[in-house]
Amino acid sequence: MTKNVKGTPIVKGLGFDSFGLGANACTVDIDEEQDKILRIRPFHFDEHQTPEELNAWRIEARGKTFEPGFKTLISPLSLCYKKRVYSKNRIPYPMKRVDWDPEGERHPETRGTSGYERISWDEAAQIVASEIKRMHDEYSPEAILCEIDGHGETKVVHAAHGCITQLLDLCGGFTLQARQPDSWEGWYWGAKHVWGMDPLGQQNQQNNVIKDISEHGDAVLFWGCDPETTPLGWGGYMASRLCYWFTELGIKQIHISPDVNYTNAVHADKWIPVLPNTDAALQLAIAYTWIKEGTYDAAYLDTHAVGFENFRHYVMGGEDGVPKTPKWAEAICGVPSYTIKALARYWAAHAVSIAHCNGGSFIRSCFAHEPARLEVALLGMQGVGKPGANQFKFMEWTLFGIPTLDPLPPSVHIPSLGAAYRGYVTGTKASFIPKTMIPEAIMNPPVQWYGHIAAGFPREDQFDGPYTFPPEGGSRIHMVWSDSPCWETCWNGGFKMQDALRHESIECVVVQHPWMENDTLFADIILPSNTKFETEDIGTDCDSGQWNVVFYERQAIQPIGESKSDKEVVAEVARALEQYGGIYEGMLDKYLGGKTDDEWIKVGFETSGVPEDLTFEEFKEKQYYAFPTREDWKDIPAGIRQFHDDPERHPLRTPSGKLEYYSTTLSHYFPDDRERGPIPHWVDEGAGHQERQYLERGRKYPFLLVSNHPHFRVHAQHDDVTWFREIETCKVTGPDGYKYEPVWVNPIDAGKLGLSTGDVVKVYNERGAVLGGVIVTERIMPGAVYQDHGARCDTIVLGEGGLDRGGANNLIAPTATTSKNAHGEVTSGFLVNIEKVDVLALAAQYPEAFGRDYDPGCGLVATARVVDEGEGE
């Protein structure tokens, strides 16, 4: 038999947003004879459909043409993924913590330090089933916390997140860890109250905005925005191509951020460095300049806004006696007053849009609702919706299946696979806790909050409540079952979460995951799930900006080790539950929904919106169907042009239908909230936060930390990819050979601190410390230090006040939420100090932590905590 050198091509979706949403499509070449992934390469839209059939779109502006291309603009995060599949960090088989005995001593205090022993699937499933039954008998269903949200592989039938809820809902309920609006916190809690843009608070009408900017725009403000980084885990390089397109057209790209990020370094015409989490001061000074010089659109505000006089009164100092002048802002945000004036004057004289990619200090810090509100206030002062002036995004272009979110020419249909999705359900009998409040809910119940705290709920939901956990007469949390074990490295106050997972009230922690990382090391039972290469599924690509696609995903390789898909993992527990009868009788078939995997795939195909004359067999043979571009796409009004032209006929979703510079609903529901009042303000400090450099705490912790979406990861994913770790800027090799997470330090600050590139430092505050490797660079402004979030935890000392070697800086983020009545995460723009450390001395002090099984090519390996490999099944 002649060996196929090229390999058999299989289509897969390698986006990492999870929840069965759009994923970056690619082609995987498989050596089926040797059961190996050979390579991953771009997917071609025109393999079975012609450009004419796809109605290939073109944007023509200023004598130039932009076209989408016919292959996915796939990112390195997808191209490298076979290294993740074959990582030494893969969990090889089910395991139990050695000093956790479900029939005896459970030792919650040693979670995070204990070793593990190999057990069989039958034993693992039996233990989990018996713990569920015991929770139901001794407490109530809400005693089981389901942590099933977060980013990850995008799967549908074998959903990466949420299969647990499918089972527990059938068993009587559970407590849901509510999905925060984590990438949209400030807009969700703030901007919605100015312009009512549901579901996220960002502009939800973006149709033809790119065409509009191409024809009419003078500049785009990239406000804390990095299209060369953040979209790569979702839709690939279309965002990057658009930046090159703007340059080709002569549209200025102005970057406002503390760092020269990867887009700024390549595309920026101007960089305005601003200290993290001080954007609100800069914005207020811009508003002051426009008001003082009479360069804002007063006529527009008269017809399109309410409450502007209240806002004007505050900006000019009428409320507190402090005019928000550029000089006032300079002392706070670090932007010279002359630069503020120049920016304000340029903006007032040109058609300017604002671009975002989510995340960063602008939107994920304390009081982040204020810069989000002020951004909309500034856009309104310059007639938002006029030609060339909108807010738009470089990613998430079909989020929630909303067609108006796509700023590029849209396809005729956004395919949905919801009918086949076997993951996340909100639960018919579920209670819930905001994700940011989980540690407090575990260790110090009851906790109370307003709203459902979940991305997608309308503005009015923020006033619903208050909600309390535990509910009256209900149980506190006693068991945690997670398929997204990265809380400590992805959310605020990670060291406190480590304490929560070791709290005496938590009797059982179950984690299912492909890799031995982060929260997995706190599990009592570890269930090895597998990657999408090891399953058959169906998927979509709706975020490429090219065409929307639905594709059939053949199984590429056999499961590695004893791993099973998340759906199959939960099925093992469902089968074990049946022995108890009663409500558990017939549980396996109920959980599986009475269908095989192939039948569920067919359900997805039939309900996705594909043409009626396309058969399931033909679809599986061709492996994809791409939806053509809408014929009338050029006729769709750009952005919020209709509101601009006729606000009465096309109102916003605010109580008044207009821009609200004074929110009557915030004033009514939260009249005593000084951190999120009815008018956008500069907030110095609050009950939970003192994160300003000029306040008392700033003298002890003088630097503001920038913690962005990582360039070489998707949140906590990909940190073990060997190819990335070979790149000099991905990790810094310390004198002990360990690959440390980089910390950017400005040369001015490095000189004062005696730091050089390659030094190892601890970044710390009273909540604890994380280590990092120094890169001295002018790509970060003085007074700020930069370290990406999402690094794998390698904790030396657990809990609050602890120390982490891996550089997972969310461990030292504030435990308090965004503000009093806004329960968002705070994971960037907070105060820290830094100092050089002697890692060899630390190694002598903590020999166990520094002696764990470690490979510089991928970091900690799975065997680092395995003490008994057993016999297997």
What are 250-293's pLDDT values in tens digits?
999 999 999 999 999 999 999 999 999 999 999 999 999 999 99
Q: Does the pLDDT value for residue 873 go beyond 60? A: no
Q: Does the pLDDT value for residue 353 go beyond 60? A: yes
**pLDDT tens column, 486-537:** 999 999 999 999 999 999 999 999 999 999 999 999 999 999 999 999 999 9
The half-sphere exposure of 39 on its side-chain side, counting CA atoms within 13 A, is 6
> Looking at residue 696, what is its pLDDT?
96
Band (pLDDT 50/70/90 cuts) for residue 662 is: very high
Which are the contacts of 348, defined by CB distance < 8 A and separation ≥ 6?
290, 293, 295, 296, 382
Question: What whole-number distance in Å separates Cα of residue 434 and Cα of residue 178?
Answer: 5
> Looking at residue 425, what is its pLDDT?
80
Residue 711's nearest CA partner among 117, 265, 184, 114 is: 265
> Looking at residue 778, what is its pLDDT?
98
> Looking at residue 864, what is its pLDDT?
85
**Which range in 146-155, 176-185, 341-350 is most confidently predicted, on average pLDDT?**
341-350
Instruction: Provide the mean pLDDT of the chain.
Output: 95
CB 483 within 8 A of CB 566: yes
Question: What whole-number distance in Å separates Cα of residue 589 and Cα of residue 542?
Answer: 32
Residue 816's nearest CA partner among 767, 763, 783 is: 767
> Looking at residue 33, what is its pLDDT?
87
Q: Does the pLDDT value for residue 5 go beyond 90? A: no
> Looking at residue 18, what is its pLDDT?
84
Tokens 């709203």 map to which residue? 451
Predicted TM-score (pTM) of the model is 0.97
b/e code 723-742 from CB counts within 10 Å (16+ = b): ebbeeeebbbebeeebbbbb
Question: What whole-number distance in Å separates Cα of residue 541 and Cα of residue 592?
Answer: 26
Which are the contacts of 703, defined by CB distance < 8 A and separation ≥ 6?
749, 783, 784, 785, 831, 832, 833, 834
**pLDDT tens column, 11-54:** 999 999 887 667 788 888 899 889 999 999 999 999 999 999 99
> Looking at residue 430, what is its pLDDT?
74
Q: Does the pLDDT value for residue 4 go beyond 60? A: no
> Looking at residue 495, what is its pLDDT?
98
b/e code 662-688 from CB counts within 10 Å (16+ = b): bbebbeebbeebebbbbbbbbbeebeb
Q: How far is CA 628 from the centre of its chain?
A: 30
Q: How far apart are the first and last CA of the chain?
A: 34
Q: What is the mean pLDDT of the segment spanning 176-180?
A: 90
> Looking at residue 283, what is its pLDDT?
98
CB 124 within 8 A of CB 525: yes
CB 872 within 8 A of CB 118: yes
What interhelical angle do 279-293 and 337-349 show, nearest 10?
A: 60
Q: Does the pLDDT value for residue 307 go beyond 90? A: yes
Secondary structure letter of residue 1 according to DSSP: -
> Looking at residue 1, what is its pLDDT?
30
Band (pLDDT 50/70/90 cuts) for residue 208 is: very high
> Looking at residue 531, what is its pLDDT?
97
Band (pLDDT 50/70/90 cuts) for residue 109 is: very high
Q: Does the pLDDT value for residue 3 go beyond 50? A: no
> Looking at residue 870, what is its pLDDT?
73
Question: What whole-number distance in Å separates Cα of residue 180 and Cα of residue 662?
Answer: 26
> Looking at residue 26, what is its pLDDT?
86
> Looking at residue 124, what is its pLDDT?
98
Task: Please give the share of the chain, as a percent, with pLDDT higher than 90.
Answer: 92
**pLDDT tens column, 666-695:** 999 999 999 999 999 999 999 899 999 999
Band (pLDDT 50/70/90 cuts) for residue 190 is: very high
Q: What is the mean pLDDT of the segment spanning 237-262?
A: 97
